Chains A and B, each alone.
Chain A
Amino acid sequence: MIEFMTRRLLLLFPVLLLISMISFSIIYISPGDTAENALMNPGGGVDQKAVEEFRVKTGLDEPVYIQYINWMSKILHGDLGQSYMTGEAVSEAIFRCFKVTLKLAIISMLVSLIIAIPLGIFSALKKGTITDDACRLLALAGVSMPNFWQAYLLIIVFALTLKVLPSSGYGDGSLAYILLPAITLGTGYAAVTMRLMRASMLDVLQQDYIRAARAKGVPEYMIILKHALKNSLMPVVTVAGLNFGYLLNGSVIVETIFSWPGIGNLIVSSILSKDYPMIQGCVLFIAVIFVLVNFAVDISYSFINPKIRYETKN
């Protein structure tokens, strides 16, 4: 176990280094000069003197590799630079927005588990029947539905027709504001979780202790709810809880539609305004979170299923 964890941990470093390089260089793919782009007037004109001062001030006059080293050494001290637009520290903006995104992500996850667990169990119990097929189709439809479309369908029904929920914004941060974006984000996620629940349930139902319980004459509903559910839930909740990528991906679009002031929204607006330090900071931050979460998933997987440890070693 220790050996497996050490190997995985050591592999993190080159990946994190490469991620930082990709995040840093992403701004150099935009056509034109970085400083000129940042100072461009709405009309398209640029004040050359201001550009020169800006270059010196932000270190853009240095060679690229020096810029990268400076950027990295600042990051290691917790400084991601300042926003070109507002002057706010990038790390502060990210921290503020990430808290808001996290709130949305947690509620979305709950929504997805509420949908996925009963459907997954149901599907497993009805394995091979038309009901199972219908559940599978439902799950596929959930993954295939564009979340920007689903968002507007929900707005039409709940905000415009029934008028029971606000159509967008953060408001006072209460549940009413969070519900529509969370449902949008949660349903796509539920589809994946449901398949996982089904597989895990089927796996558990084949175990000897279930057969023993049946032989003892334990009623079927008790077997499902008490013995099978408890054991099949652990991998599902661990993986669903940690598999953050889907939520972060989806949050970009969902937050834009619902004007949810999270990190997805921050990224879209900083790309539109060419706020380079903010873009670099956000991309790096999310990728690092993503890598660490995947690391945690790998480790917890290997606790659940020791076979993985041996397979990775070879």
Chain B
Amino acid sequence: MKLRIKNKNPGLVLSAGILIIFILAALFAGYIAPHNPDKANLELRLKEPCKEYPLGTDDLGRCILSRIIYGARVSLSVGLLVVSSSLALGLTIGTLSGYYGGWVDEIVMRVVDAFLAFPSLLLALGIAGLFGAGFMNMVIALIVVDWASYARLARSSVIAVKEQEYIKAAKGLGTGDLHVILRHVIPNVISPLIVMATMGMGYVILSAAGLSFLGFGVQPPTPEWGSMLSEGKMYIRSAPYVMLFPGLAIMLAVLAFNYLGDELRDLFDPREMKDID
């Protein structure tokens, strides 16, 4: 897999930069955040951005910048948990189904079709809402709606690859199925899945924020971008910055992942990408 990197791509540098900042913020929140994100101080409520509080304070007098920094931790970990689990699940099911084919493949694909038939946010909302709001339930709900698209992509890529000469050659040499799958099939189908996973990070972060915004995700007082925005909506008239900055954080993070995914798609062999378009 050879990468062709366009020289001078400011967008790529910028989006990678944004992601690195968010990742550092999530890892070292305790050192970077200027204040304790949970410390309420009613005397300081709804303070406009100033030197001490660069992005102002919310309705309980908590530092918005610090809450956004700690919020990166929540959003990135939801994204990572959901995307890696969905990718692992989808890759396993899709690869096996595509490799072995037959009636198992038919059944698996109908199940995949059924899961893809629900508008994803809606099903996640139903599951998270009925399961009870909370971090773990939201993660489970998002995995339930997310895995099927990885499975479908993995399967179609495996089917395209498995009739290739080198796979037949490996089998002809008497190599076991497991070895063929791990050493020859998966390395050749993984690139479109990586593109999907990168964009999936953005999508999951957006969905998680949406669920939390509606009250079905991470619960206050945990600093989470979506629920911060929801708390700030009461004050859009008097203190619009309370909801402005969390929204901006969501958008930057999602945009960076989407842009990166878009670039990765161009970097990998474009012929392999036809399946996603």
Nearest residue, chain A, Cβ from B215: A272
B243 A152 Cβ-Cβ under 8 A = yes
Contact partners of B117 in chain A: CB under 8 A: 15, 19, 287, 290-291, 294
A26 B126 Cβ-Cβ under 8 A = yes
Number of interface residues of A (CB under 8 A): 47
Q: Shortest Cβ distance from B261 into chain A, in angstroms? A: 10
Nearest residue, chain A, Cβ from B213: A148
Give the residues from 152 to 210 in chain A that come closer than 8 angstroms, CB to CB, to chain B. 152-153, 155-156, 160
| A272 and B229 alpha carbons, distance in the complex (Å) | 20
Q: Mark B103-129, 1 if CB is under 8 A from A, else 0.
A: 000000011011101111111011101
Nearest residue, chain B, Cβ from A30: B130
| A29 and B259 alpha carbons, distance in the complex (Å) | 37
Q: State which of A15, A256, A271 has its C-beta within 8 Å of the C-beta of B129.
A: A271
B255 A140 Cβ-Cβ under 8 A = yes
B258 A140 Cβ-Cβ under 8 A = yes
A-B contact count (CB 8 A): 131
Q: Shortest Cβ distance from B114 into chain A, in angstroms? A: 4
B214 A152 Cβ-Cβ under 8 A = no
Nearest residue, chain A, Cβ from B250: A146
Q: Shortest Cβ distance from B196 into chain A, in angstroms? A: 15
- B254 is an interface residue with CB less than 8 A from chain A: yes
Nearest residue, chain B, Cβ from A141: B255
Give the residues from 152 to 209 in chain B that come closer than 8 angstroms, CB to CB, to chain A. 202, 206, 209
B127 A26 Cβ-Cβ under 8 A = yes
Contact partners of A152 in chain B: CB under 8 A: 229, 233, 236, 243, 247
| A14 and B112 alpha carbons, distance in the complex (Å) | 11
Given contacts A146-B247, A267-B125, contact A287 B131 (CB under 8 A): no
A29 B131 Cβ-Cβ under 8 A = yes
- A286 is an interface residue with CB less than 8 A from chain B: yes
Nearest residue, chain B, Cβ from A199: B277
Given contacts A27-B130, A140-B262, contact A19 B214 (CB under 8 A): no
| A141 and B129 alpha carbons, distance in the complex (Å) | 29
Interface centre among A148, A271, A283 (most CB of B within 10 A): A148
| A29 and B110 alpha carbons, distance in the complex (Å) | 22
| A153 and B131 alpha carbons, distance in the complex (Å) | 32
- A11 is an interface residue with CB less than 8 A from chain B: yes
Give the residues from 132 to 162 in chain A that come closer than 8 angstroms, CB to CB, to chain B. 133, 136-137, 140-141, 143-149, 152-153, 155-156, 160
B214 A253 Cβ-Cβ under 8 A = yes
Contact partners of B123 in chain A: CB under 8 A: 283
**Chain A interface mostly helix, strand, loop or mixed?**
helix
| A15 and B247 alpha carbons, distance in the complex (Å) | 37
| A306 and B206 alpha carbons, distance in the complex (Å) | 36
Q: State which of A30, A149, A268 has its C-beta within 8 Å of the C-beta of B251.
A: A149
| A245 and B203 alpha carbons, distance in the complex (Å) | 15
Q: Shortest Cβ distance from B108 into chain A, in angstroms? A: 12
B243 A140 Cβ-Cβ under 8 A = no
Q: State which of A15, A143, A153, A271 has its C-beta within 8 Å of the C-beta of B114.
A: A15
B113 A144 Cβ-Cβ under 8 A = no
Q: State which of A22, A30, A140, A256 has its C-beta within 8 Å of the C-beta of B131.
A: A30
- B240 is an interface residue with CB less than 8 A from chain A: yes
B233 A14 Cβ-Cβ under 8 A = no
- A18 is an interface residue with CB less than 8 A from chain B: yes
- B237 is an interface residue with CB less than 8 A from chain A: yes
Q: Shortest Cβ distance from B255 into chain A, in angstroms? A: 4
Contact partners of A19 in chain B: CB under 8 A: 114, 117-118
Contact partners of A11 in chain B: CB under 8 A: 110, 113
- A31 is an interface residue with CB less than 8 A from chain B: yes
Contact partners of B246 in chain A: CB under 8 A: 149
- B132 is an interface residue with CB less than 8 A from chain A: yes
| A29 and B121 alpha carbons, distance in the complex (Å) | 17
- B11 is an interface residue with CB less than 8 A from chain A: yes
Nearest residue, chain B, Cβ from A253: B210
- A113 is an interface residue with CB less than 8 A from chain B: no
Contact partners of A272 in chain B: CB under 8 A: 129
Give the residues from 99 to 117 in chain A that come closer than 8 angstroms, CB to CB, to chain B. none
B247 A252 Cβ-Cβ under 8 A = no
- A80 is an interface residue with CB less than 8 A from chain B: no
A287 B118 Cβ-Cβ under 8 A = yes
A29 B130 Cβ-Cβ under 8 A = yes
Q: Shortest Cβ distance from A158 into chain B, in angstroms? A: 12
| A22 and B123 alpha carbons, distance in the complex (Å) | 10
B129 A290 Cβ-Cβ under 8 A = no
**Interface on A for B, CB 8 Å cutoff?**
11, 14-15, 18-19, 22, 26-27, 29-31, 133, 136-137, 140-141, 143-149, 152-153, 155-156, 160, 245, 248-250, 252-253, 256, 267-268, 271-272, 274, 279, 283, 286-287, 290-291, 294
Starting from the known contacts A146-B247, A148-B230, A149-B229, 11 additional A-B residue pairs (CB-CB under 8 Å) come to A15-B110, A19-B118, A26-B127, A29-B131, A31-B131, A144-B258, A146-B213, A146-B254, A148-B226, A248-B119, A283-B118
Query: 27 A-B pairs, CB-CB below 8 angstroms?
Result: A11-B110, A11-B113, A15-B110, A15-B113, A15-B114, A18-B110, A18-B114, A26-B127, A26-B130, A27-B130, A29-B131, A133-B11, A136-B262, A146-B247, A148-B213, A148-B247, A155-B236, A252-B121, A253-B121, A253-B213, A253-B214, A268-B125, A268-B129, A271-B125, A286-B119, A290-B117, A290-B119
> Sorted from nearest, which 9 A-B pairs have the closest CB atoms?
A149-B247, A18-B114, A271-B129, A30-B130, A144-B255, A144-B254, A249-B119, A249-B121, A14-B110
